[in-house]
Chain A
Amino acid sequence: QQQVKQSPQSLIVQKGGISIINCAYENTAFDYFPWYQQFPGKGPALLIAIRPDVSEKKEGRFTISFNKSAKQFSLHIMDSQPGDSATYFCAATTSGTYKYIFGTGTRLKVLA
């Protein structure tokens, strides 16, 4: 019940296309869902996050869609660029538990 399932494992998108990464969870106590971007040799960096009282959040080219009833959330990267090539992690946590449960990561490659 503590797992966060992330798909796909890898993704190749043409420049200008839309990248979509999906995550699913079981624990309905989760109340914060962040996405992280990690470049090789670097630590993960917070990209965007959502709480379950909102169905969508947009920041620039990045959008989180959240479906509470389906217990799923997804990251959409619009107008994908080669500089977006990185590994993306979804995560989930419950307030007061002091830990994230991370998805297994998606390696995104955007072709020029």
Chain B
Amino acid sequence: DTAVSQTPKYLVTQMGNDKSIKCEQNLGHDTMYWYKQDSKKFLKIMFSYNNKELIINETVPNRFSPKSPDKAHLNLHINSLELGDSAVYFCASSPDSNRGYTFGSGTRLTVV
């Protein structure tokens, strides 16, 4: 009964490949997010969705495309992977815009 679950936990892939990360929350929250944590552990917003609608796209390259088929799911597809995309990607959800987030356990993406 994990609250926010991400798959896969680890992803190792070659440059130029396309990959997807899936996220599901069972908390009934309206808002979902993707955050990127770099090698220095800095957390930066990538996308925010509220009731399946894109609210924030924080200057993320077009190679990253989120999709929210319903309020409980937010997936992230990445095209033409680059070395610089290597990071830990966290999905999170919250009841609304200024309440605490519940984070997933992260997907460590390594591009070789």
A2 to B64, CA, bound (A): 24
Question: Which residues does chain A contribute within 8 Å of B90, judged by CB atoms?
Answer: 43-44
Which residues of B are in contact with A by a Cβ distance under 8 Å? 4, 31, 33, 40-45, 48, 50, 55-56, 58, 90, 92, 97-106
A42-B105, A98-B55, A102-B43 known; A49 and B100 CB under 8 Å?
yes
Which of these binds chain B: A11-19, A20-28, A67-75, A89-97?
Answer: A89-97
Q: Which of A84-112 contact B (CB under 8 A)?
A: 87, 89, 93-100, 102, 104-105
Is A99 in contact with B48, judged by CB distance below 8 angstroms?
yes
A87 to B97, CA, bound (A): 24
Min distance, Cβ A64 to any Cβ of chain B, angstroms: 13
Question: Which residues does chain B contribute within 8 Å of A36, judged by CB atoms?
Answer: 101, 103
Mask, A34-76, CB within 8 Å of B = 1, is 1010100111111001000000000000000000000000000
In the complex, residue of chain A having the shortest beta-carbon distance to the beta carbon of B55:
A98
Which among A43, A94, A96, A105 is the interface contact of B106 at CB below 8 angstroms?
A: A43
Is B48 in contact with A34, judged by CB distance below 8 angstroms?
no
Which among B31, B44, B48 is the interface contact of A102 at CB below 8 angstroms?
A: B44
A99-B56, A102-B44, A104-B42 known; A93 and B105 CB under 8 Å?
no
Is A95 in contact with B103, judged by CB distance below 8 angstroms?
no
Is B42 in contact with A46, judged by CB distance below 8 angstroms?
no
In the complex, residue of chain A having the shortest beta-carbon distance to the beta carbon of B44:
A102
Q: Which among A89, A97, A98 has the greatest number of chain B C-beta atoms within 10 A?
A: A98
Given A32-B99, A98-B97, A100-B45; 11 other pairs, CB 8 A cutoff: A31-B98, A32-B98, A36-B103, A49-B100, A96-B97, A98-B55, A99-B33, A102-B44, A104-B41, A105-B42, A105-B43
